Structure 1
């Protein structure tokens, strides 16, 4: 089916003029290929000029903030311009700290009048150290409306020391945000065009891309003219995320040259969670092809990498790419609302729980443990905790004894007999554990 499949080098040095306005390059300021707020780190002055670069900073660059902040928060990582992992502030007295940990915006002190007239005080803090600071910095005096005695301070400190932590698990969060879809599609198309300019500069400046360039740069035209919902028969991005383990720690673009529809469609995937498909050209004739571009989010500043493939569409039984325009206004609202609700009410807490599992495995692996039954139990315990936590989020009942049995059946039981003495970081062991986990997850249908 494939007639060409190869890694291709960056060719952005061939661009001598800004592909939006024609100003000379290189620019003084550098432009990120994938937005820095999404975790992108590589930037260059060889794509667009300073004036065009500054045009995107106020609205377009923040169009996906609500999505990326949720993903970065749950997986506890930050973008280049974030000083810390993004926090999500809720409409009540709480915010979500990294890892979807529910914390108070400030100490919560409430007095409750009981039926018999007595007053019961409820005090809540994020930590014991925060509680002690509240006592010493005047919070206690403000609450009592007088200066507390030394005895009162010591008594409250003793209660705090003896108190048990109240741990709130990751849970679905309601999503009520005003989304600017026009800016989202401008941002998406902007990223796709930059990937084209980086690897196939001869394509980005042609007449066939003028409409999308004018929409992106000058906001000319309705976003619905360019926005489509796509279904991909072959998604190199999804395969890479699964096989290489890129997951949420990468951004990617796939561009499809489609001879049957005479269109070029770009698909942007942000942190493997948000996808936007954009019509780049409606006047295409030529071979069917895919350009796949990806960049990791670890702040490496390494340039994006790309694979280009051509294929014989006559050998396909179904279209490589199906897409449809968004038709009716109420359907558009429903689609994007459901997408955001899915992210916040399902992916967000499950991401946090999954990240906790990976962190636990990483912590055990750092001990360089050799495989034996006692250490195997540590890994089994991590996986059982994961299934238990996910069941709470999804509202499903899980029999942990059955989960353990499935994990053993699908690979854990033979680990000690076949790989005794080897390190848990051995690729064969990691692969077998992942297979057992995936099969168990599939069987239980959580």
Structure 2
């Protein structure tokens, strides 16, 4: 299938001038290959100058904020320059804390006048500790219009302590936001060009990429003349994600030299959730090849990994990239609003409960528990909670008994018999649980787990 398959050496130091403006390199300030707000950590001063670097930070670097914040919030991780996991502000009185946990921006205090003239007060807090701070701080005094007595404070504290918490499922809402598609595509082009310069400097500074460089740096040209939708019929990045288990904890760029379309097309994938594609060059004639660049988001600061493949036409005659131009302006914006709605309405909450499941399993794994009926029940319950939450997200009522029966049928019932005394971290045990979970998810998708 391939005539060439190799890792490329880093050649960024061969660039003696900024590939945008021609200023001498290296720069004083280093530039991230993948944006730090996306979790990127490796940077170099051998690609662009300080002035060009700073020009992107004012607006272009923020273009994907609504997407990356949702992914990082749900999976509970942060970018290199961020002190905290991003939160999602909603348009009402709530926000989504890390892990998609619904919380109040401020305590809610509402007074209700009853028919008999009495006043009933309803107090809502994120936690009992927040309520205590409200009582002892300025909150209660502002509500009463005077300093509360010690007795009043103690009475209210007793009420708070005795109160039962009411858990609300977080249902993410799509905030009204103006998507700046032009800046998104400038950011996309800039990132792809940096990856190209990092490994193939002759391409990033050649005449064939002049138009995309001028668009990325100086906003010259209509973004729609560079933007395309792509179908990757063969994606090295997707295979790497599957094999290495990188998931949302990585960013990637794939550059396709495609003789059938006479184009060079770059595809940026941010956190395995957001994909943007741009035409880097036209009138290409040459070998069909792909450069894939991947960087994880764990803050290692290591250079991204790369692989370059060249396809053998005698064994692989089909085009490996489907390309479609955006035509109608109305359809363009509808496409991207639908994309964001899917991210926030489906991917975001599913990501959150998936991350929660993984984190809870990792906590239990650290205890080095041996397989027995009691410990197995704890693991089984984690999967049950996930399935019930998945039903809430999709609007499907999951019958806990049916979900439990499926998990047992597909393997949980035999785990103790087959592997009694082993650890839950044993590869055979993990494989059996994973298989049972995957098959139960298929039952969920087929509607088998629904309430009668």
Do the structures match in fold with TM over 0.5? yes
C-alpha separation in 1, matches of 2:352 and 2:409? 27
Report Cα offsets for 1:181-202 as digits up to 9, x if no partner. 0000000111111111111112
C-alpha separation in 2, matches of 1:189 and 1:198? 14
Q: Report the secondary structure of 1:112's partner residue.
A: strand
Alignment of 1:22-421 (within 5 A): 22-316=22-316, 318-421=318-421
C-alpha separation in 1, matches of 2:436 and 2:256? 35
Partner of 1:423: 423
Q: Is the 8 A contact 2:90 2:175 kept in 1?
A: no
C-alpha separation in 1, matches of 2:421 and 2:200? 50
C-alpha separation in 1, matches of 2:407 and 2:16? 57
Q: CA deviation at 1:292?
A: 1.1
Q: Which moved more, 1:190-199 or 1:419-428?
A: 419-428
Q: Report the secondary structure of 2:252's partner residue.
A: strand
C-alpha separation in 1, matches of 2:114 and 2:54? 59
Q: Report the secondary structure of 1:316's partner residue.
A: coil
Partner of 2:441: 441
Specify every segment of 5 or more residues in structure 2 that has no aligned partner in the other structure, as ranges: 448-452
C-alpha separation in 2, matches of 1:4 and 1:196? 18
Partner of 2:450: none
Q: Is the 8 A contact 2:262 2:284 kept in 1?
A: yes
Q: Report the secondary structure of 1:160's partner residue.
A: helix
Report Cα offsets for 1:286-313 as digits up to 9, x if no partner. 1111111111111111111111111123
Inter-CA distance 173–313: structure 2 relative to 1 (3 Å threshold): farther
Inter-CA distance 171–313: structure 2 relative to 1 (3 Å threshold): farther
Report Cα offsets for 1:132-176 as digits up to 9, x if no partner. 111121211111112222211110011111112222223231232
Q: Which moved more, 1:207-216 or 1:311-320?
A: 311-320
Q: Is the 8 A contact 1:175 1:341 kept in 2?
A: no
Q: Report the secondary structure of 1:56's partner residue.
A: helix
C-alpha separation in 2, matches of 1:178 and 1:285? 39
C-alpha separation in 2, matches of 1:280 and 1:244? 29
- Give 4+ residue runs of structure 1 displaced > 6 Å after superposition: none
C-alpha separation in 2, matches of 1:176 and 1:394? 22
C-alpha separation in 2, matches of 1:442 and 1:250? 27
C-alpha separation in 2, matches of 1:421 and 1:199? 50
Q: CA deviation at 1:121?
A: 0.5
Q: CA deviation at 1:25?
A: 1.0
Q: Is the 8 A contact 1:74 1:348 kept in 2?
A: yes
Q: Report the secondary structure of 1:269's partner residue.
A: strand
Inter-CA distance 340–263: structure 2 relative to 1 (3 Å threshold): same
C-alpha separation in 1, matches of 2:4 and 2:82? 40
C-alpha separation in 2, matches of 1:41 and 1:64? 17
Partner of 1:12: 12
Q: Is the 8 A contact 2:96 2:170 kept in 1?
A: no
Q: CA deviation at 1:429?
A: 2.9
What TM-score, normalized by structure 2, do the two folds share? 0.95
C-alpha separation in 2, matches of 1:420 and 1:267? 48
C-alpha separation in 2, matches of 1:243 and 1:112? 58
C-alpha separation in 1, matches of 2:370 and 2:318? 48
C-alpha separation in 2, matches of 1:103 and 1:146? 28
Specify every segment of 5 or more residues in structure 1 that has no aligned partner in the other structure, as ranges: none
C-alpha separation in 2, matches of 1:419 and 1:9? 46
How well do the aligned residues superpose, as a CA RMSD in angstroms?
Answer: 1.5
Q: CA deviation at 1:358?
A: 0.5
Q: CA deviation at 1:444?
A: 1.9
Q: Is the 8 A contact 1:175 1:344 kept in 2?
A: no
Report Cα offsets for 1:56-90 as digits up to 9, x if no partner. 01010000001111111111111011110111111
Q: Report the secondary structure of 2:83's partner residue.
A: coil
C-alpha separation in 2, matches of 1:415 and 1:198? 49
What TM-score, normalized by structure 1, do the two folds share? 0.97
C-alpha separation in 2, matches of 1:21 and 1:439? 55
Q: Report the secondary structure of 1:313's partner residue.
A: coil
